[in-house]
Structure 1
């Protein structure tokens, strides 16, 4: 007889333990053990068991867990990991880190990472069975033609336990939403469809909100300097690009802007590279939503900006519609204060549309869902890319199902209170998908394409570039540990099916997107995986975490506008502006959702945090340690810089970057 000593670790999270009957079986290359019942699987416990066998099982390749349902009582179990001391003196780790449902049978592989062609025959059979089961659980569905496909599940409670929220996050998420609703009702504004009587009344409403950035925005939102600053370091630093030649449909003349150009001319500043453009043409032709029975008005502005000698980005001309005409004048800072304020409000409302639908929903949430589903369907647990990417998929499926049910459904918040909600959202999302490119998702390429390499005070670029480099360096070293040559990339059938499905179901097989449909080299793979991790972590943080800070003060981020844009100059009054801005109901409901979407839960995982011990080899463990050190150094540099800034840029501090799209 020989003895195997088995140590079982139950998670510390709430309700992780179970009193249900769970059996364990060891599987080796030469034999299998009898099933043995596990006891005392309490929350946070570490339990040790002995399993006797007649002879050695050979090399251990798997552990089978059988969650037997006895009667009607059955509670889930969160298993962290299982380790086995063999008679030969080896200690073998079997990572789990997931919930087990009643009646479920789960087979765990060792922590050793193996590509499919490196695995033994028994291991390949297990890989195939695991992926067949996963592909049954995680199917694709067409949400609407012309959009990325989604998980085939309408109810987050029906998701497999392994990808659902923890109990802690669920309680916090819904209690936060309830608090926001109560706050609205106490102020009796949730259903109040009246316009704000004055800016003073609006300011009084905000007097009880304690948020330093909202206070700053409230004080500076109407200033041109802050308007331009937000194109660089607000919650959507993605619109601005260098302008070397004015678009034909934006006939700005030197006489119009010469007073804004520090004694220079428009032609000279264009040549110097100091003129920038934000073009909202993606919104052109969209008819606004109806909110509280009132038609909303969308515009597709062109905004010309000048980076002055002091390094400040200043707006110098705005045209609210794409087609120039007498009824679509070009507005200037020299126009009346009310005209210029209203025109900037229309731009900020357009910003709401492009930010929420394109840069936030599509480029982070929906793409992260594509990457998550493909990863679960095509990478078995021993695959090095499963071990690398799985932490970057945490909670993504559930948060996206909640978004579809609570935000963009027929009765969702955005459908009810956003000018670009409802049918306009669907049309816009299809446009954004059709124009999405690989280079737009790769941070260095995107910065270069927009001509922003040398713009001063662009903290999003500075921090993002360093984060991309740190992630890229880690990914390159990690993958090079397993793919020793390009031939290994080409031979990895699981990898090739993964990228093929992403290309087909996520990017709709668009060759013009630049997204690869297969990988031929390790270099190609490294870049793509860097993009996947960056999109779901850093980029999501950049466009998500500042929504309430910069958008909480409603005039800076109006979700819809009740009056059409001005057709001539000199007609705008403060009353006109107040009648154009969202009503009280829309204001508080959008505020509530922005607050909810920027609240992290107690079980928040920052980038670089590896609570799941999925590998036990020295090389990847050292790479993880180096990755964490580099992130910590970057965090220190950002915090030191921010000490000198009037308004610190914190969204790409690694401490504030989540590992995944989970909110």
Structure 2
């Protein structure tokens, strides 16, 4: 006789428990045995039962779970099953999914295995699992010329294991309703006041704030804060060090002194540029019958010895046949003229930040990684175990975005100047510029000339996090791929790589993405990019929305008058007539609060509780990863205490472990 102690853990989320009975079957090398259990309706519980088998079952291979019900199929979220056998050894069977219906769910013993290294029973299981997954996780084309997405027209069509847990769903939907109510209250309140001065925006500037939000409110007109945002604001991805004067810069007659200043900064290596040419020619939205407007500014900035980045000139539009000499705006211009020029830059930055660097470069890329992982890597694969914590909730948040935020009639159409179709054209252009190097900070920051700048806090923190993630990835990879030929010989891994590059990212091999892995180093670099994109990069791009965008004039979502073509006639009425109106401003504040706030069920980077790896060596690698993140947290905290404007977005405790909002 063999005695087995079976521990079954139920998930901690609401409604994870079940009143249904569950039949559990142990399958070993020499036989099988069954017992029946009833998962406790209380969430987060673990129960232990003893099973006396007629004989020792030998090494355990699988646990099979079959839920039985009469009238109500009460879904049960099983976290894991652990079994201690007659010899005292414990086998773990990770699950972390919903058990529904009466079909048996077969969980393999949790040791990670490559294809070909497995026993025949495991090889058959992984092949069957992938066949089923590829039917469940299918690709779809949301818009031609954009990355593929999960095939789900609405959130209800998503695979159940990719859905929000109940707490997340309730919080997400409550916050939308709270935001809608706040919008109504602000609209009612503003009916009693004017809307013709910048101070009138104070009427709607209430709600959740931070010290930085108030700082932006006070100082948004300052050139220093304007320049700072290119380095460490909501979108630190556009700035680059100039290696020559921009070709599209046109210096009008009489600007010889400015040209000399620019050339001097260029020679000193202190000239920087931010070019919004991607917006040139994008059709602008029409909101409630009113034509909105877009521009494609070019900004030239200088880095002072103390690290301050200050604007030197702004060219609002590229040269055109009708205007071969565009107006160049300068800090010495009348204050309202210069403020209006900077507002056009900030509006343009809002568009590229939200669409190119936030939606495309993090959300859509993360979704491609998530779908390809589910389609190509079985649960036994070590790379699946490495990546699966970093794809939590991504498919649902993106599906919600496609049906609420960027859909026909969605938020972008209601309030943003690239809405109404321009946002799709902009995404297509951005995809054409999405290179593999641009997603890897060591390459991207080098290409943009931003290495070694003391005041570039995003760059410093991103590089350190990249290095920490790279060590973590290398530690896991080396446990399973001891030689390069093992990498080359893994068919599941190679299929996953092709699925991302050729299918999900639409033939991205032309932009430097690999279609196969030839070495350990190539694999580690790619996996580091995947995890960094799904965690660190999204944290850097997403978290600043509330603080930098809540004061609407600092980042207007739309502009209601054409960009200025001269410096004459700019009045406060011109500025207020250009900036978003009350309704657009309320909507911007509500959505940026909804998307930028800290999530109640947030899982910090590396702190996931799921135990997909069973081996002690893999667990040791994860523990070292967590210690490295803790050490970085201490360093960033100490640095920030010395700064007038702390940079908090890449503190490891602030970075979510996946794209969930």
TM interval, short-chain normalised: over 0.9
Query: Could you tell me which residue of structure 1 aligns to residue 294 of structure 2?
Result: 298
Distance 1:306 1:46 in 2: 60
The one-character-per-residue Cα deviations of 1:633-662 (angstroms, maximum 9, x if unpaired) are 111111111112222110000010000000
Gaps of 5+ in 2: none
Q: CA deviation at 1:205?
A: 2.9
Distance 1:218 1:167 in 2: 36
Q: Using a 3 Å threshold, how does the CA distance of structure 1 residues 42 and 215 change in structure 2: closer, same or farther?
A: closer
Distance 1:557 1:368 in 2: 26
Q: Using a 3 Å threshold, how does the CA distance of structure 1 residues 591 and 615 change in structure 2: closer, same or farther?
A: same
Q: Does 1:349 align with 2:353?
A: no
Distance 1:273 1:255 in 2: 25
Query: Could you tell me which residue of structure 1 aligns to residue 403 of structure 2?
Result: 405
Q: Does 1:282 align with 2:281?
A: no
Q: CA deviation at 1:327?
A: 6.4
Q: CA deviation at 1:209?
A: 5.3
Q: Using a 3 Å threshold, how does the CA distance of structure 1 residues 271 and 375 change in structure 2: closer, same or farther?
A: same
Local SS of the residue matching 1:52: strand
Query: Could you tell me which residue of structure 1 aligns to residue 416 of structure 2?
Result: 418
Q: Does 1:182 align with 2:190?
A: no
Q: CA deviation at 1:429?
A: 0.6
Greater displacement, 230-239 / 570-579: 570-579
Query: Could you tell me which residue of structure 2 aligns to residue 265 of structure 1?
Result: 261
Local SS of the residue matching 1:24: strand
Q: CA deviation at 1:167?
A: 0.8
The one-character-per-residue Cα deviations of 1:442-471 (angstroms, maximum 9, x if unpaired) are 011000000111333010001111100000
Query: Could you tell me which residue of structure 2 aligns to residue 605 of structure 1?
Result: 603
Distance 1:35 1:180 in 2: 50
Distance 2:39 2:553 in 1: 59
Q: CA deviation at 1:2?
A: 2.4
Pick one of 640, 645, 661 that aligns with 1:642. 640
Pick one of 310, 314, 333 that aligns with 1:318. 314
Kept after mapping to 2: 8 A contact 1:327/1:568: no
Local SS of the residue matching 1:269: helix
Local SS of the residue matching 2:205: helix
Local SS of the residue matching 1:515: coil
Local SS of the residue matching 2:272: strand
Distance 2:257 2:222 in 1: 19
Q: Which runs of 4+ in 1 moved over 3 A?
A: 34-42, 189-192, 207-210, 252-259, 324-327
Greater displacement, 172-181 / 318-327: 318-327
Q: CA deviation at 1:328?
A: 2.3
Query: Could you tell me which residue of structure 1 aligns to residue 142 of structure 2?
Result: 143
Kept after mapping to 2: 8 A contact 1:101/1:161: no
Greater displacement, 37-46 / 221-230: 37-46
Local SS of the residue matching 1:276: strand
Pick one of 500, 514, 517 that aligns with 1:516. 514
Aligned alpha-carbon RMSD (Å): 2.0
Q: CA deviation at 1:76?
A: 1.5
Query: Could you tell me which residue of structure 2 aligns to residue 118 of structure 1?
Result: 117
Aligned residue pairs: how many? 659
The one-character-per-residue Cα deviations of 1:217-258 (angstroms, maximum 9, x if unpaired) are 011111111110000000100000011211222024897485
Local SS of the residue matching 1:117: coil
Gaps of 5+ in 1: none
Query: Could you tell me which residue of structure 2 aligns to residue 6 of structure 1?
Result: 6
Kept after mapping to 2: 8 A contact 1:439/1:446: yes
Q: Using a 3 Å threshold, how does the CA distance of structure 1 residues 26 and 587 change in structure 2: closer, same or farther?
A: same
Query: Could you tell me which residue of structure 2 aligns to residue 48 of structure 1?
Result: 48
Greater displacement, 59-68 / 95-104: 95-104
Distance 1:250 1:184 in 2: 41
Q: CA deviation at 1:590?
A: 1.2
Greater displacement, 99-108 / 491-500: 99-108
Query: Could you tell me which residue of structure 1 aligns to residue 97 of structure 2?
Result: 98
Distance 2:256 2:169 in 1: 53
Q: CA deviation at 1:577?
A: 0.3
